Amino acid sequence: MTQVPRISSLILAFALLLPPVVTLAQGAQVAFGNTQADRNLPVEVTSDSLSVNQADNTATFTGNVVIGQGAMRLAAPEVLVVYLPDKSGIESLKATGGVTLVSGEDAAEAERADYDITTGMIELRGNVLLVQGTNAITGETVFVDTAAGTAQVSGRVKTILQPGSNE
């Protein structure tokens, strides 16, 4: 699995250079990712260190954490993995410290992310920046439905659309 590069400064610089076609709204529904994600695919985690807590069915990955599931990649400094009570799989992932989520050509950044593996829902919170091709969207919260390939942006949404863009 390849490392997901830190894209915050590139995304921000790119978004600031776009012509100012701006839409402000309270919420927006957008597509996210090229295809619907299969949440039954294996989850691969790489990190600098791992701490396991058998008492509460959790594991904490720290340092350059990269998580892959199919074509989706999530990178963060720290990720808490919560296992199902019967330890047959992963229930959820909680990433903190600055998160980058990439699915196909789409990318998002946030302060934290919670991924419920059983439902396929990812909640990105805190200064979220979502980039889709030449378009950028910011908001406070983004809910990504990996099964449907959609995202819902809320919390003082600002959209920068590139004129003539088909994305």
Q: Where are the domains of the chain?
A: 8-160
Q: What is the pTM of this model?
A: 0.75
Of the two residues 55 and 8, the one the predictor is more confident about is 55
Kindly report, residue by residue over 6-51, the tens digit of the pLDDT.
444 434 333 333 333 333 334 555 667 655 556 677 888 999 999 9
Structure tokens at 65: 């954490």
Provide the pLDDT for residue 65. 97
Report d(CA 124, CA 113) in Å as an integer.
4
User: Which residue type does 53 have?
Assistant: N
* CA angle, 63 then 74 then 92, to 5°: 90
DSSP secondary structure of 44-95: EEE-SEEEEETTTTEEEEEEEEEEEETTEEEEEEEEEEEE-TTSSSEEEEEE
Q: How confident is the model at residue 159 (pLDDT cuts 50, 70, 90)?
A: confident
Instruction: Please name the helix (run of DSSP H) or strand (run of DSSP E) that holds residue 105, with its range, or none.
Output: none
Q: What's the mean pLDDT in 109-131? A: 93
Domain 8-160 part of CATH 3.30.70.120: no
Report d(CA 61, CA 77) in Å as an integer.
8
Contacts 24+ apart (CB under 8 A), 128-132: 128/153, 129/8, 129/11, 129/12, 129/15, 130/30, 130/32, 130/106, 131/11, 131/14, 131/15, 131/106, 131/107, 132/30, 132/31, 132/32, 132/105, 132/106, 132/167
Report d(CA 163, CA 126) in Å as an integer.
28
> What is the 3-state composition of the chain as percent helix, strand, coil, each rounded to the nearest 5?
5, 60, 35
Provide the pLDDT for residue 84. 92
Structure tokens at 92: 């959820």
Q: What is the mean pLDDT of the chain?
A: 79
